[in-house]
Structure 1
Amino acid sequence: MSNLIYYERYLPHRLPPGETIFITFRLAGSLPQEVLVRLQAEAQLAQQRSAPDVGLRYAEQKRYFGRFDALLDGSTHGPTWLGQPAVAAIVQQAIHYPDRKGYDLRCYCIMPNHVHLVVDLPDDAPPLAKTLQTLKGYSSFQANKLLGLSGAFWQAESYDHVVRSGELDRIISYVLENPVKAGLVDEWPKWPYSYLAPSNADFQSASE
């Protein structure tokens, strides 16, 4: 069974307690539907070809996410509300609120149209799907109120990756370096909407 999941609203989450989870969610309408349909069709075909080989299937899924995230970084389609400081502050508050309650926060990066988040799930954590539903619901309500909007703020789909042993530093680096890769800043600490938990201070020192 794959530990990398791209799920729709009604598909089950496989987010086991005791694991570290890499999560990506995005604004509603941030990518054209035809682009998503093409990406998902390509991903399904690649998974069918690699189905007997767990390592190959995992590599194909990573490639899918890389294409997906690159499209978000370079997208000129749809809203970029998260680039507004007041909206980003709402999302930051929503992310921090469940820390030490629903999850243990490691890092995040709020990009103009999507969010990357890495958390640890304690053994007694409530279902992460429920925590994310509350996080997205609160931030959606507050952001829509601020912007004078109504309707869907977040896209229903999210992307979850159970972090494998040995890849945590790489994923934290990926999250924090996202605005650098997108050409928004030249060093990740200059991006005002990123966060690295104090418990990862060793990583921070190694990255400077």
Structure 2
Amino acid sequence: MKNLEYKEYYRRKLPHFQPVEAVLFITFRLVGSLPSHVIDKLEQEKNRMEKMLGKVDDPEIWKELRYEQQKRWFAKYDNYLDNAKDGAKWLGDERIARLVFESLKYRDNKVYRLDAFSIMPNHVHLVAKPLVRQDGILPYSISKILHSLKRYTATEANKILGREGQFWQHESYDHVVRDDGEMDRIVQYVLNNPVKAGLVDSWKGWEWNYFRM
């Protein structure tokens, strides 16, 4: 678990924010799981959101507006993933789902406290709190945790599938959980995602769900 240095904020195509002691809701997906025209639509929507936010001066109003906009954007993003007819769905292979399941569990109490996850055919929802490093000052970096997780599972999954090349989309979506009420709502959302996608009738029937009792 080396090279997991903490950064509170960083940005690629999406902004990423990891306050100390934060619980994070993270979604990461397979490469090629969304078609380019859908990605373009989502990018345009994000740009419209940023332009609107740029016109708001009051910091409290800006914060609440950004929160609501992100919720709407994520709902569209996840709906596209749930309803994708084409694209990579390697996580629908039981061997790959089990690999990712065990890899997520392996890191519990090592680099994060694992609260919940759901492995869907083309993406993963994860709720976790990065742990403070052994120096007792800062938490492990979620970006580095995901990099390690993705690198290992991609290598092993490609061996199983007999393929080469990129497995995961590089960038992930993450959201800082604001309070206990939102935590409950997000965990319920994660566990019920297979039901929402029409894969099972009850969240308990989805083998690739997990939550901390």
Superposition deviation, residue 47 in structure 1? 2.8
Q: Classify 1:167/1:12 alpha carbon distance in 2 versus 1 (closer, same or farther; 3 Å).
A: closer
Which of the numbers 154, 166, 174 marks the counterpart of 1:152? Answer: 166
1:78-122: CA deviation from partner (whole Å, max 9, x where unpaired): 111101111101101111121111100000000000000000123
Let me know the Cα RMSD of the aligned residues. Answer: 2.0
How far apart in 2 are the matches of 1:49 and 1:98?
A: 39
Match of 2:49 in 1: 46
How far apart in 1 are the matches of 2:127 and 2:183?
A: 9
TM-score, scaled to structure 1: 0.87
How far apart in 2 are the matches of 1:172 and 1:32?
A: 28
Match of 1:193 in 2: 208
Q: Classify 1:70/1:6 alpha carbon distance in 2 versus 1 (closer, same or farther; 3 Å).
A: farther
How far apart in 2 are the matches of 1:175 and 1:7?
A: 25
Superposition deviation, residue 177 in structure 1? 0.3
TM-score, scaled to structure 2: 0.85
1:30-83: CA deviation from partner (whole Å, max 9, x where unpaired): 001221122111122123213422211210111000000000000012111101
- Which ranges of 4 or more aligned residues in structure 1 deviate by more than 6 Å? none
Which of the numbers 107, 110, 114 marks the counterpart of 1:101? Answer: 110
Match of 2:187 in 1: 172
Match of 1:122 in 2: 131
Where structure 1 has 5 or more consecutive residues not aligned to the other structure, the ranges are: 199-208
2:36 is the alignment partner of 1:36: no
Give the secondary structure class of the aligned counterpart of 1:167.
Answer: helix
Aligned-residue identity in percent: 46
Instruction: Give the paired residue count.
Output: 194
Which of the numbers 85, 89, 102 marks the counterpart of 1:80? Answer: 89
Where structure 2 has 5 or more consecutive residues not aligned to the other structure, the ranges are: 1-7, 57-61, 134-138
Match of 2:3 in 1: none
Q: Does structure 1 conserve the Cα–Cα contact (< 8 Å) formed by 2:112 and 2:129?
A: yes
